[in-house]
Structure 1
């Protein structure tokens, strides 16, 4: 078993990289891949850069170069559901693009039956065990994550809620799930909230990013400990 851990930015993955033992570094496609062990499990971790194409490049390299058996997405996200506060965590049940036409996925490669990428059932079950068996400072919800690269204004938020009813939004997870789907690699995403409808903007994101990232990484670590 070898687990790939992907986050968009260095701040979102550094708390995990710092705990990898026997760490080595490889470069592929201008990306840094940190290879080693956590909880006696082989891991390869990296920050892929923001947005869908960067995330897809990193995911395919993990699969091709490192023979990854499972992929965990970690990092931060923006809240869509009003029940979420800053620092709360979303664990994906399913993931979907909010800025890709449905027929691109269903009528062309990879000819999906629906537009939703489902998280691996075993990884989901393990995450539920973690939530049930541990006490966390934040609320943890299981549900839908939407991905897209457009700035979300009030109108966009209403349209996303009406069409998808997600918990949160990010710029990478669906593209990672897409690559995992075509390669038949189990995945799950664990994202913590940096900003909400009421508290938003670059300053809010930056001030909350490391705190939220640490909350996601804490769950990733417990998941790896159960996988060993």
Structure 2
């Protein structure tokens, strides 16, 4: 009896210790995507690795490590790799803005990624794009063409979003509460400002939103066995107005994405 009790206590202490030591990685591409998260962090301590600043601290009671990736796929992959190697996060969550592809979505609305895929990896032909899968160079095994966001994190994000108050979006016909939807997010090293491209991404990839980092983070996490979630709020509709819209809406979009990420982190 005493031996069984001792084993149980050792097991309990081990699990408690693991939970106490585990951290959640949080990423954003550029300063506006991280400003709210940084302002709410407590007990902050910076570590510089390969000239990249990683900030450890508490957010909503959860131990996190926060970093700015920079814009684009290579920057995102480098920062994600360093975060996994040096901090071993239990999961990684990206918070940021995106261009809307789903015609039902508007600036300020939020997309919780269910899948993330590249829209610029493959072969360009006269009749369009042939999309390829990436390959893990260590194993030479082919990766899935679409990386699946962690289902537990997706469900958690959807659940907590129902009780949150987001910044309203002001449009010509009034102010609106942002919608929260789940969907496919596509990634490429281009800023999409074309209805022709938007239509193609919707038809060929069933994309809800497009951005420049998510799939690189997803691929890195997939190859390093780290659960991940990509959360994006729309700054524009990836059409001819995108360059003007992003200037008008990126602050609100970044704030809404970060608001949801904070709530998810608080439920870890």
Fold similarity call, TM over 0.5: yes
**4+ aligned runs moved over 6 Å, structure 1:** none
Contact 2:24 2:92 in 1 (8 A): yes
Q: Which 5+ residue runs of structure 2 have no aligned equivalent?
A: 1-21, 123-130, 167-176
Residue segments in structure 1 that go unaligned for 5+ positions in a row: none
TM-score, normalised on structure 1?
0.92
Distance 1:185 1:107 in 2: 15
- The answer as to 2:119 corresponding to 1:78 is no
Residues 149 and 229 in structure 2, CA contact (< 8 A), matched pair in contact too? yes
Helix, strand or coil at the partner of 1:32 = strand
- 2:160 corresponding residue in structure 1: 130
Cα pair distance change 1:200/1:223, threshold 3 Å = same
Contact 2:96 2:254 in 1 (8 A): yes
In structure 1, the partner of 2:183 is: 143
When the two chains are superposed, the root-mean-square deviation of aligned CA atoms in Å is 1.8
Taking structure 2 as the reference length, what is the TM-score of the superposition?
0.79
Greater C-alpha radius of gyration: 2
Residues 25 and 64 in structure 2, CA contact (< 8 A), matched pair in contact too? yes
Q: Match for 1:105 among 126, 129, 134?
A: 134
Cα pair 1:110 1:182 within 8 Å, conserved? no
Is the counterpart of residue 38 in structure 1 residue 59 in structure 2?
yes
Q: Secondary structure at the match of 1:203?
A: helix
- Confirm or deny: 8 A CA contact 1:106 1:115 kept in the other structure: no
**Once structures 1 and 2 are overlaid, which stretch shifts more, 29-38 or 190-199?**
190-199
Question: Does residue 192 of structure 1 match 2:233?
Answer: yes
Structure 1 residue corresponding to 2:207, chosen from 166, 187, 190: 166
Q: Are 1:190 and 1:216, in contact at CA under 8 Å, matched by a contact in 2?
A: yes
